[in-house]
Amino acid sequence: MQIKYINSYYITIQNAQLRFNMSVSPDKWGVIYNPKAGTRKVKKRWNEIKEYMDSKGVRYDYVQSEGFGSVERLAGILANNGYRTIVVVGGDGALNDAINGIMLSQAENKEQIAIGIIPNGIGNDFAKYWEMSTDYKEAVDCIIANRCRRIDVGTCYYFDGTTHLTRYFLNAINIGLGARIVRITDQCKRFWGVKALSYFMALLSLIFERKLYRMHLKINGEHIRGKIMTICIGSAWGYGQAPSAVPYNGWLDVSIIYRPELHQLWSGLWMLINGRILNHKLVKPYRTQRVKVLRAKNASVDLDGRILDRHFPLEIGILHEAITLIIP
């Protein structure tokens, strides 16, 4: 048994279950602090966040994640124990874990659970979409203001060989190059030690490689077969690859990118940075509510930066206004 003391309360961890020894008032936040998101200064920043919340009179309990998968488990436990405001101190990966924990929990009225974000780390694409400040004081003030918006949640159904599983996402699914960048960034980080530099090196190496994957998809009744470099299926803007996506309209935006020639690569990168990637002649856009990926040979898959073990076919859909987000 392991006990963590939290603001004079405690959580007992036993057999992967946490039980709170107090009732939860509706205005109390459940805060998940993810210390592995970003730089070495994260722990110091958390102390500053905690002190600021205390100074503003915020009522909260907090838990600290302790490794891969723990954010998802903790978010589910907070939801099951009645917290109606769950705050994630972390980046895109931690936010994805928290959404999966909430959506897979036994909590009632999940769509009424409000998600607050205190961006913490390098990967904060979803927070940037909503123009959330990286300044923790502004982020805390935003959550206190409690301006809420119901948003969509993407779904990904697949079979792992023994069980039918569901994963959820807020931003995007990448298949092919985009997902390989995520995978190799994690590997490079062990060598370079800095995520931003690792991402840049992985991006350069893979873009010049321009590997193609033999894929078969079904979108809006159309079968798409061929060699494709990368696919982005976005509820939000998907790191710039789905710039027209709106995370509350009940639709998914899909960008299929075929292999560019080297001289087309630079114009493509410029258009990606400037939010105009859909104008590139090698990009084919779709808007749909369902995508079926029947085949994507040897292609990596990621959801909001979390690598998914390859199990095809994938059935990707959207749940309209399935969760509540606290926005500026």
> For 264-287, what is each residue's pLDDT tens digit?
565 555 555 566 667 667 889 999
Q: Tokens 């998809």 sit at which residue? A: 217
Amino acid at 261: E
> For 178-236, what is each residue's pLDDT tens digit?
787 766 655 555 444 445 555 565 556 556 666 889 999 999 999 999 999 889 999 99
Nearest-angstrom CA–CA distance, 15 and 17: 5
> For 52-94, what is each residue's pLDDT tens digit?
999 999 999 999 887 767 999 999 999 999 999 999 998 888 9
What tokens were used for 120? Answer: 């913490």
Beta bridge partners of 214: 227
Amino acid at 143: I
| 71 within 8 A of 95, measured Cβ to Cβ | no
Domains of the chain (ranges, CATH numbers): 2-146 (3.40.50.10330), 155-318 (2.60.200.40)
What tokens were used for 159? Answer: 């079979």
Helical spans, DSSP H, in the chain: 42-55, 70-80, 92-103, 125-129, 136-145, 177-192, 195-209, 262-273
Confidence check: pLDDT of 245 > 90: yes
Q: Tokens 């948003």 sit at which residue? A: 151
| Distances in whole angstroms, Cα of residue 182 to Cα of each of 31, 73, 178, 291 | 27, 23, 7, 22
What is residue 258's predicted lDDT score, i.e. its pLDDT?
85
What is residue 36's predicted lDDT score, i.e. its pLDDT?
58
Range 44-71 burial, b when 16+ CB lie within 10 A, else e: ebbeebbeebeeeebebbbbbbbeeebb
* Residue from 65, 93, 61, 56 nearest 78 by CA: 61
What pTM does this model have?
0.85
Bond into 313 cis (ω within 30): yes
Query: 245: how many CB neighbours lie within 10 A of its CB?
Result: 24
Enumerate residues 6+ apart whose C-beta is below 8 A from 29.
58, 59, 60, 61, 83, 85, 86, 87, 116, 143
> For 88-142, what is each residue's pLDDT tens digit?
998 888 999 999 999 999 999 999 999 999 988 667 889 988 999 989 999 999 9
Please state whether beta strands 314-326 and 114-119 pair in parallel, antiparallel, or not at all (unpaired): parallel
